[in-house]
Structure 1
Amino acid sequence: MRVLVTGGAGYVGSTLVPMLLAQGHRVRVLDSLRYGGHGLLAAATDERFDFVQGDICDEEAVTAAVDGVDAIVHLAAIVGYPACKKDPRLATRVNVEGTHTLLRARRPDQKLLYASTGSIYGRVPDYLCHEGTPRAPITLYGETKAAAETAILDAGNAVAFRYATAFGVSPRMRLDLLPNEFAYQAVANRSLIVYERGFKRTFLHVSDLARSMVWALDRWDDVVDEAYNVGSEDMNLTKEDLARRLLDHVDYYLHFAEVGTDADMRDYEVSYAKIRAKGFTPRVSVDAGLAELVRGVRLIDFRNPYGNV
């Protein structure tokens, strides 16, 4: 299969692309390289890999990128509420307008898999979230992803995966994801301050996130034209649970603060029964992922030129 991955040089894409190549697919990546392309250097050794540098809102670049492919995995986005809050105009342009640019260029027979997010649900009054739960995003990130998801599913021959919070080591590493940040602070600073300790999140290792995409492309007719929560009930954890599990892998000072709020306001459990019934379950546990993170973040060394510590 010939697969286009938009935003393929990012945290998820740099994990997904090698998986697709290993399965024998030909892979083209469209990416603006906002965060660089080092995560895909290993893929460049494979002759089935192709790269197009371009903006997801550039009609000409997108039209060229979709030409000749059988399937599209749409990852290109400004991800997370802090990044969207920092530049709201860019977030709307990339997440919403960029998706419409892709839809105009894409042929109806090209499979389209969209990386959506649990942030589209916002607050969940019943505490248990499933695909039928009304979407009520409370951040710009959630709003833009919800708008893009609606447009994609309305276009047909598409699948939307509403992912849990990703974590784990990736070739293009991120430290702004909750478990990754916890691990880095614990290793680098030997301390961690946690607020809203009882708030519950659900997590998914980045390798399982990427694997779910390969899985969906292989079983397209069985999953097409639906939205699915992707994760595991075993990884519905409070912030306190996550921080205490991290103590099993690295010794650090843990403090729970009574002040501080998270604008995303996610505090609920998620049901993954729908995708489990189709045959997909994650493989990497929270504990295995935390152990990996502790090993990985020890390789990250930021030097502050203005401090002696």
Structure 2
Amino acid sequence: MSYNVLVTGGAGYLGSIMVPELLKAGHKVTVLDNFMFKQNSLAHCVADPNFDVVKGDAREESVLKPLLAKADVVVPLAALVGAPLCKQDPIGATTTNLDGQLMLIKALSKQQRVLMPITNSGYGVGESGKFCTEETPLRPISLYGVHKVEVEKAVLDHGNAVSFRLATVFGMAPRMRLDLLVNDFTYRAVYDRFVVLFESHFKRNYIHVRDVSRAFLHALDNFEAMKGQPYNVGLSDANLSKFELCQRIQNQIKDFVFLEAPVGEDPDKRDYIVSNEKIEKTGWKPAHSLDMGIAELIKGYRMIKNTIYTNV
């Protein structure tokens, strides 16, 4: 079945992969983006008659509402993403990640479907050896996580929605981000050959950017069975500490050196392991392993070497 899909922030890291996949699946896609990073990440989509793009701010009701009125499905990707960026611009984070999203949810009809990106960083600091499931209490420790938890509650109260608690995303994309952990460490391994780790035992889960798109499309195809629920989305074999992640990178870049800092701390305090069993039971499985992603990034970094591909 074909839908009219509105993707806010669709020219960003996730959207630059997801929008072409939605088009390939036969949907009509409209992207609303402010192009704050001056990216042309959807240039390869403009020849498709089922694609349209609007340059504008998703926080402006007069811009958003006319586009929302035409949509069967909404994918609200517009956000200031990540704890460091939100700490750097708390007002922008609040107006975009919280106020703008709540405005969008309030404007929805009950018939409109929502595929909402959340973050599993809402789990904060988990219990040692215990997997975080969708029933685990949410204890966000960053402004980014706090906003995402509040938005998830609002969108699930809306009812006709699926929420994705995304693991830390990695992999190449047309609107690249070098500041994500796997992407960052692999970049440092390629160009610096070393990294200094703060609190290297802290664990988290990971997921390839293309598998994020596959999860959203899977939910759209199985919406009635999945709606009204949150789902962790990550690699079940990649609940890794930063030290373990560096070991995986070192398997492919032999002269990569990583050292534990004797002093200092990681500003991102999250530390947990995650169960992805719930979404896997719906029939979704990831197609891209961590090792595949690292190999892909190594090739990709032969093409880019600058700092414009970060959020902070």
SS at structure 2 position matched to 1:55: coil
2:93 corresponds to: 91
Residue 265 of structure 2 corresponds to 261
In 2, Cα distance between equivalents of 1:226 and 1:101: 21
Distance in 2, matches of 1:260 and 1:62, equals: 43
Secondary structure of the residue that 1:293 maps to in structure 2?
helix
Unaligned residue ranges in structure 2 (runs of 5+): 308-312
Residue 287, structure 1, aligned to residue 291, structure 2: yes
TM-score normalised per structure 2? 0.94
| Alignment partner of 2:36 out of 27, 34, 39 | 34
What amino acid does structure 2 have at the position aligned with 1:207? Answer: R
What's the counterpart of residue 123 of structure 1? 125
1:62-101 correspondence runs (5 A): 62-101=64-103
The one of 2, 15, 18 equivalent to 2:17 is 15
2:162–2:226: 8 Å Cα contact kept in structure 1? Answer: yes
The separation in 1 between residues aligned to 2:20 and 2:163, in whole angstroms, is 22
Q: How far 1:103 sits from its partner (Å)?
A: 1.7
Give the aligned residue type for 2:226: V
Check 1:131–1:233 CA distance in 2 against 1; reply closer, same or farther (3 A cut): same
Checking the alignment, whether the CA contact within 8 Å between 2:235 and 2:289 is kept in structure 1 is no
Q: Give, in angstroms, the shift of residue 257 of structure 1.
A: 1.7
- The residue type paired with residue 99 of structure 1 is Q
> Which stretch of structure 1 is more off in the superposition, 164-173 or 265-274?
265-274
Residue 260 of structure 1, CA deviation: 3.0
Q: Alpha carbon RMSD of aligned pairs, Å?
A: 1.3
**Is 1:208 equivalent to 2:211 in the alignment?**
yes
**Aligned positions, number:** 303
**Equivalent pair of 1:4/1:72 in contact (CA under 8 Å):** yes
Structure 1 length normalisation: TM-score?
Answer: 0.95
In the alignment, structure 1 residue 296 sits paired with structure 2 residue 300: yes
State the one-letter code of the partner of 1:26: K
SS at match of 2:46: helix
Which deviates more from structure 2 when the two are superposed, residues 293-302 or residues 9-18?
A: 293-302
1:278 and 2:282 correspond: yes
| Consecutive unaligned residues in structure 1, runs of 5 or more | 304-309
Task: Give the percent of matched residue pairs that are identical in Structure 1 and Structure 2.
Answer: 45
Q: Look up the match of 2:310.
A: none
Query: Per-residue deviation at 1:122?
Result: 1.1
Q: Is 2:198 aligned against 1:195?
A: yes
State how far apart, in whole Å, the 2-side matches of 1:276 and 1:259 are: 40
How far 1:301 sits from its partner (Å)? Answer: 2.2
1:135 aligns with 2:141: no
Letter in 1 for 2:4: R
Which deviates the most, 244-253 or 139-148? 244-253
Q: Are 1:9 and 1:36, in contact at CA under 8 Å, matched by a contact in 2?
A: no
